[in-house]
């Protein structure tokens, strides 16, 4: 950032000039007051006063000028650095009537990030109600997260055990990871007076259940037991010393905890705001160009330019029909030709002249086919007629 | 400075514009005080010289007269100095907040990528800041204050300024004009500069209320004092306002009905708010909304729909599709995103090596095999649809060429 912006105003020179005048005035007063010859003192005094005030008027003018120069430098720097008008990229009608929804999203975001008191005040101010169960869940989540941060896993294990079935549905390994961490914690404890080992006892009690899924990890963990006394120099030291393992465990826990509540692990508001911060400059550019060209957004309610966001911000598999160049939708879905190429349904209709028995050539390859041979496909899984009735169990 | 940093730092302009505008006003204040004192000094000096030339009195009264004038000059210059010292405190405050804000912007400037911890830290501070600003603009002052306090956003959000404007806006909605008129008075030069007729509108409203209350004499006197002067600029409105004396509040004539309308107070509040943000160089819309609109649009696809019931199945398939995580499909923001346009894509964004399952779903084949292995299936012959949990033989898969 430009240095002039950090210090846009300094009125100290003006104050110095005033101080100077004040000093002179006091001296003049003293001179007149203590003079022997009154008439002379007065004449001299007035002359001195005239000089002092003239001096002051000049210096205060130049001091103000100096302040002004600094200020206008800063103002110019603001104009130069921030010449884009961000509000051009925003059409307030898109959120018309939606502000109560956004209030609620903000309240939920505050709960997600643990600002429970602020969220409570907001709910009252904005007349929002958020189910107590949601708030309590997040409070519980933060309690457990705090434990994990202090390298304590008991509360997390308790939660994972209670939600074992749901976690299994998510193919989650959280429960095993937590037990593994607890085992590593116990490795540092000495054997008990009766010779039994807390870590080994724990492993015997908790690992067998995961034998089918996690055998390699279990072998590695129990292997570490051999090096118990000098873990830090053993091949297993990374099990033990890495703070990152704890961070990962925390992330995994938050992800699974939110998933089980059917919540996204990252706050949607956070994701949208980060994406917006990255995309906004492009929107400003776009709005400048389209206002110059008098171009409107297309009738399809699609913005006219492609905005590149990092992969983290792409959430859907998007298919663009090679014929119509349009994104496929539920109304105009992707259709698979027998040759393996894909076109949108509307394009298929025009290729086949609306005749299911009309032979046409694939737009991509020399193969010919009829639209009756084409099938609707789903780039994103969803409940459809082929999947609904046969929701078979996972394990055979 | 990184490319990404440069690009996103532009977003933070209101952080700098508001305090720089404050500095400008502070300087105007300094100038005005000094100017006023200059005029006075000149006058006093002339007086003193005139006295010295004309009046001939005894020495002692001569001296005491001169001292008296000198003392009054000293007193006034001392007052000027005190005033400047008070303004100097504002200057210190402006510097403090600019220092804090520039640290915040530098964090953005130093972010190399979205994976950079700098970026994450900047982003989360920025979001809290935008939320606080949004809450203030919505009039939720208590929650905004709490957030600013708990998240240490002091200096990053113009809390007192926005709250000050909100209080005046609220007073107008409560049908009170004193606060707004007082503000208009304090900001007369700036209002004149932007040619705002806010004060006229407020005065007119006050007059309408007097007419409504039936106090015609008071209304007329108010009219003469405050409204008639603006005749040249607002002739039409003034004619109608005068005619109001003859037309009761239950009129059906559109022009007068409009003047009597209670909605005018809300419009007045809105107008004040616009003028207030403009004068203070604040952004016209809360930056949270501007940012969300850009972000949601950039991520919105033609097929985004709320999928509450499928959420758990989609989460289960999250290695194959990230749509469970899409902020637009997800409940919290899905309704707010309804009216937004969607992003433009010229090429498909699908995974490589796609295959079609008999149930119509398309997935990446390597991922299906990997998934089958984690499920302890015989991945040479069988795969499993992660979404439905159905098992299929590998022989039943058909290749899909979608890229």
pLDDT digits (tens, 9 = 90+) for B321-349: 888 888 998 888 988 999 999 898 888 88
Q: In this complex, which of A18, A277, A381 lies closest to B81 when CB atoms are compared?
A: A18
**A90 within a domain of the structure (yes/no):** no
Which of B41 and B374 is assigned the larger pLDDT? Answer: B41
Instruction: Establish if B322 touches chain A: CB-CB under 8 angstroms.
Output: yes
Q: Quick one: CA dihedral B388, B389, B393, B399, positive or negative?
A: positive
**A91 within a domain of the structure (yes/no):** no
Mean pLDDT of chain B: 88
- Within 8 A of A28 by CB-CB distance, chain B residues are 70
pLDDT in tens, A220-252: 888 888 777 776 777 776 666 566 788 888 989
Asked if residue A393 has pLDDT above 50, the reply is: no
B235 vs chain A: nearest CA distance in angstroms?
A: 33
- Within 8 A of A320 by CB-CB distance, chain B residues are 345-348
d(CA B215, CA B224): 14
CA-nearest of B105, B96, B88 to B154 is: B96
Q: Where do the domains of chain B lie?
A: 3-150, 159-279, 354-400
A8–B23 C-beta distance less than 8 A:
yes
Asked if residue A396 has pLDDT above 50, the reply is: no
Residue B311: what pLDDT? 77
A121–B146 C-beta distance less than 8 A:
yes
Asked if residue A147 has pLDDT above 90, the reply is: yes
- Within 8 A of A255 by CB-CB distance, chain B residues are none
Q: In this complex, which of B99, B140, B388 lies closest to A6 when CB atoms are compared?
A: B99
Asked if residue B88 has pLDDT above 50, the reply is: yes
Residue of A22, A35, A65, A94 to mutate for B, most B C-beta atoms under 10 A: A94
**A37 within a domain of the structure (yes/no):** yes
Asked if residue B224 has pLDDT above 90, the reply is: no
B39 vs chain A: nearest CA distance in angstroms?
A: 10
Residue A16: what pLDDT? 94
Q: For residue B151, give the chain A residue with the closest CA.
A: A115
Query: Strand, coil or helix: what is B252?
Result: coil
B342–A279 C-beta distance less than 8 A:
no
d(CA B187, CA B25): 10
Residue B53: what pLDDT? 59
Residue of A379, A384, A391 to mutate for B, most B C-beta atoms under 10 A: A379
B180 vs chain A: nearest CA distance in angstroms?
A: 24
Mean pLDDT calculated for residue range A75-86: 84
- Are A219 and A240 found together in one domain? yes
- Within 8 A of A176 by CB-CB distance, chain B residues are none
- Within 8 A of A118 by CB-CB distance, chain B residues are 143, 146-147, 150
Residue B60: what pLDDT? 65
- Are A76 and A58 found together in one domain? yes
Q: For residue A271, give the chain B residue with the closest CA.
A: B327
Query: Strand, coil or helix: what is A378?
Result: strand
pLDDT in tens, B298-307: 999 888 888 7
- Are A231 and A318 found together in one domain? no
Residue B395: what pLDDT? 92
B13–A387 C-beta distance less than 8 A:
no
A18–B77 C-beta distance less than 8 A:
yes
**A395 within a domain of the structure (yes/no):** no
- Within 8 A of B91 by CB-CB distance, chain A residues are 9-11
Mean pLDDT calculated for residue range A363-379: 93
Residue A296: what pLDDT? 54
Asked if residue A23 has pLDDT above 90, the reply is: yes
Q: For residue B49, give the chain A residue with the closest CA.
A: A46
pLDDT-derived band of residue B30, with 50, 70 and 90 as boundaries?
A: very high
d(CA B175, CA B184): 16
Mean pLDDT calculated for residue range A317-327: 90
| CA angle centred on A83, ends A79 and A86, rounded to 5° | 130
Residue whose tokens read 């509108």: B201
- Are A138 and A246 found together in one domain? yes
Boundary (domain end) residue, out of A82, A116, A147: A82
- Within 8 A of B26 by CB-CB distance, chain A residues are 9, 11
Q: How far is CA B196 from the centre of its chain?
A: 20
Residue of A274, A375, A389, A390 to mutate for B, most B C-beta atoms under 10 A: A274
**A104 within a domain of the structure (yes/no):** no
Asked if residue B55 has pLDDT above 50, the reply is: no
Instruction: Establish if B69 touches chain A: CB-CB under 8 angstroms.
Output: no
Residue A299: what pLDDT? 47
Q: For residue A337, give the chain B residue with the closest CA.
A: B400
Asked if residue B191 has pLDDT above 70, the reply is: yes
Residue of B24, B293, B300 to mutate for A, most A C-beta atoms under 10 A: B293
* Chain B 338-377, residues with CB within 8 Å of chain A CB atoms: 338-351, 356, 358-363, 374-377
B208, B212, B218, B220 alpha-carbon torsion, rounded to 10°: 50
B389: alpha, beta or left? (left if phi > 0; alpha if psi -120 to 50):
left
Residue B32: CB atoms within 10 A of its CB come to 11
B43 vs chain A: nearest CA distance in angstroms?
A: 12
Number of domains present in the structure of chain A: 4
Asked if residue A377 has pLDDT above 90, the reply is: yes
A196 vs chain B: nearest CA distance in angstroms?
A: 35
d(CA B270, CA B314): 44
- Are A229 and A328 found together in one domain? no
pLDDT-derived band of residue B5, with 50, 70 and 90 as boundaries?
A: confident
B317–A18 C-beta distance less than 8 A:
no
Instruction: Establish if B49 touches chain A: CB-CB under 8 angstroms.
Output: yes
- Are A7 and A54 found together in one domain? yes
Residue of A13, A14, A114, A316 to mutate for B, most B C-beta atoms under 10 A: A316
* Chain B 181-200, residues with CB within 8 Å of chain A CB atoms: none
Asked if residue B84 has pLDDT above 70, the reply is: yes
A57–B30 C-beta distance less than 8 A:
no
Q: For residue A44, give the chain B residue with the closest CA.
A: B52
- Within 8 A of A306 by CB-CB distance, chain B residues are 343-346
Range of the domain at A330: 314-385
- Are A141 and A219 found together in one domain? yes
Of the listed ranges A94-103, A132-141, B53-62, the least confidently predicted one is: B53-62
pLDDT-derived band of residue A391, with 50, 70 and 90 as boundaries?
A: very low
**A273 within a domain of the structure (yes/no):** yes
d(CA B64, CA A115): 69
Residue A294: what pLDDT? 53
Q: What's the ipTM?
A: 0.86
- Beta-sheet pairing, A334-336 with A375-376: antiparallel
Of the listed ranges A123-127, A243-247, B99-103, the least confidently predicted one is: A243-247
Of the listed ranges A106-120, A150-164, A254-268, B277-291, the least confidently predicted one is: A254-268
Residue A394: what pLDDT? 41
Of the listed ranges A27-36, A178-187, B75-84, B348-357, the least confidently predicted one is: A27-36
* CA contacts within 13 A on the Cβ side of B82: 6
Residue A242: what pLDDT? 64
- Within 8 A of B49 by CB-CB distance, chain A residues are 46, 50
Of the listed ranges A50-64, A121-135, B245-259, the least confidently predicted one is: B245-259
- Are A244 and A147 found together in one domain? yes
Asked if residue A388 has pLDDT above 60, the reply is: no
Mean pLDDT calculated for residue range A347-352: 93
Residue B58: what pLDDT? 54
Query: CB contacts < 8 Å between A and B, how many?
Result: 469
pLDDT in tens, B343-398: 988 888 888 899 999 999 999 999 999 888 888 888 789 999 988 889 999 999 99
Instruction: Establish if B333 touches chain A: CB-CB under 8 angstroms.
Output: yes
Of the listed ranges A22-36, A47-61, B277-291, the least confidently predicted one is: A22-36
- Within 8 A of A283 by CB-CB distance, chain B residues are 294, 297-298
A38–B342 C-beta distance less than 8 A:
no
Q: In this complex, which of A303, A330, A381 lies closest to B341 when CB atoms are compared?
A: A303
């Amino acid at each position: 950032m430009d240095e002039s912006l950090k210090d846009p105003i300094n009125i100290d020179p003006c104050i110095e000039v005033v101080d100077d005048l004040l000093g002179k005035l006091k001296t003049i007063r003293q001179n007149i007051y203590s003079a022997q010859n009154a008439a002379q003192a007065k004449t001299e005094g007035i002359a001195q006063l005239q000089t002092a005030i003239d001096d002051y008027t000049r210096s205060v003018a130049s001091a103000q000028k100096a302040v002004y120069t600094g200020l206008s430098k800063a103002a110019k720097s603001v104009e130069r650095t921030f010449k884009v008008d961000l509000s051009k990229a925003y059409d307030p009608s898109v959120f018309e009537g939606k502000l109560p929804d956004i209030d609620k999203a903000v309240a939920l975001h505050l709960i997600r990030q643990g600002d429970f008191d602020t969220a409570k005040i907001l709910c009252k101010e904005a007349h929002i109600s958020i189910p107590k169960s949601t708030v309590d869940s997040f409070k519980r989540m933060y309690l457990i997260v705090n434990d994990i941060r202090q390298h304590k896993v008991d509360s997390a294990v308790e939660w994972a055990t209670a939600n074992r079935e749901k976690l299994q549905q998510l193919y989650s390994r959280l429960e095993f990871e937590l037990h593994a961490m607890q085992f590593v914690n116990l490795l540092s404890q000495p054997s008990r007076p009766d010779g039994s080992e807390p870590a080994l006892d724990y492993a015997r009690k908790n690992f067998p259940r995961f034998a089918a899924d996690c055998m390699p990890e279990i072998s590695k963990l129990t292997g570490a037991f051999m090096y118990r006394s000098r873990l830090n120099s053993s091949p297993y030291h990374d099990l033990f010393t890495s703070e990152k393992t704890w961070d990962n465990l925390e992330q995994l826990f938050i992800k699974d905890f939110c998933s089980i509540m059917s919540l996204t692990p990252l706050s949607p508001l956070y994701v949208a705001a980060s994406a917006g911060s990255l995309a906004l400059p492009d929107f400003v550019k776009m709005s400048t160009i389209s206002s110059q060209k008098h171009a409107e957004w297309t009738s399809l309610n699609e913005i006219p330019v492609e905005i590149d966001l990092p992969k983290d911000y792409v959430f859907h598999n998007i298919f663009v029909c090679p014929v119509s160049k349009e994104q496929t939708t539920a109304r105009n879905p992707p259709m698979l030709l027998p040759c393996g190429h894909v076109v949108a349904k509307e394009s298929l209709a025009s290729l086949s002249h609306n005749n299911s028995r009309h032979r046409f050539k694939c737009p991509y390859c020399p193969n010919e086919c009829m639209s009756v041979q084409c099938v609707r496909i789903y780039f994103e899984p969803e409940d459809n007629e082929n999947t609904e009735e046969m929701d078979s169990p996972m394990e055979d | 400075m990184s490319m990404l940093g440069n690009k996103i730092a532009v977003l933070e302009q209101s952080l700098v514009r508001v305090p720089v505008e404050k500095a400008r006003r502070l300087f105007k204040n300094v100038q005005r005080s000094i100017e006023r004192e200059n005029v006075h000094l000149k006058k006093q000096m002339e007086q003193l010289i005139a006295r010295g030339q004309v009046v001939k009195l005894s020495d002692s009264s001569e001296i005491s007269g001169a001292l008296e004038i000198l003392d009054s000059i000293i007193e006034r210059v001392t007052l000027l100095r005190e005033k400047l010292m008070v303004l100097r405190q504002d200057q210190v405050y402006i510097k403090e907040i600019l220092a804090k804000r520039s640290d915040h912007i530098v964090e953005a400037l130093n972010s190399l990528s979205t994976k950079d911890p700098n970026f994450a830290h900047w982003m989360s501070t920025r979001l809290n800041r935008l939320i606080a600003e949004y809450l203030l603009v919505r009039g939720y002052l208590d929650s905004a204050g709490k957030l600013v306090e708990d998240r240490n956003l002091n200096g990053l959000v113009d809390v007192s300024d926005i709250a000050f404007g909100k209080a005046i806006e609220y007073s107008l909605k409560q049908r009170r004009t004193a606060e707004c008129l007082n503000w208009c008075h304090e900001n007369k030069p700036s209002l004149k500069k932007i040619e705002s007729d806010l004060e006229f509108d407020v005065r007119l409203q006050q007059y309408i209320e007097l007419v409504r209350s039936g106090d015609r004499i008071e209304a007329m006197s108010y009219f003469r004092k405050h409204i008639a002067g603006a005749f040249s600029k607002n002739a039409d409105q003034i004619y109608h306002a005068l005619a109001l004396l003859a037309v009761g509040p239950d009129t059906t004539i559109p022009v007068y009905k409009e003047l009597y309308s209670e909605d005018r107070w809300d419009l007045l509040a809105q107008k004040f708010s616009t003028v207030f943000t403009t004068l203070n160089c604040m952004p016209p819309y809360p930056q949270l909304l501007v940012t969300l609109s850009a972000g949601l649009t950039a991520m919105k696809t033609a097929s985004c729909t709320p999928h509450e019931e499928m959420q758990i199945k989609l989460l289960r398939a999250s290695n194959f599709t990230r749509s469970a995580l899409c902020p637009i499909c997800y409940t919290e923001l899905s309704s707010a995103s309804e009216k937004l346009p969607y992003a433009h894509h010229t090429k498909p964004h699908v995974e490589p090596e796609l295959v079609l399952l008999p149930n119509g779903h398309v997935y990446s084949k390597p991922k299906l095999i990997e998934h089958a292995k984690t499920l302890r299936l015989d991945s040479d012959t069988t795969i499993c649809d992660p979404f439905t949990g159905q098992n299929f033989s590998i022989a039943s898969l058909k290749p899909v060429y979608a890229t």
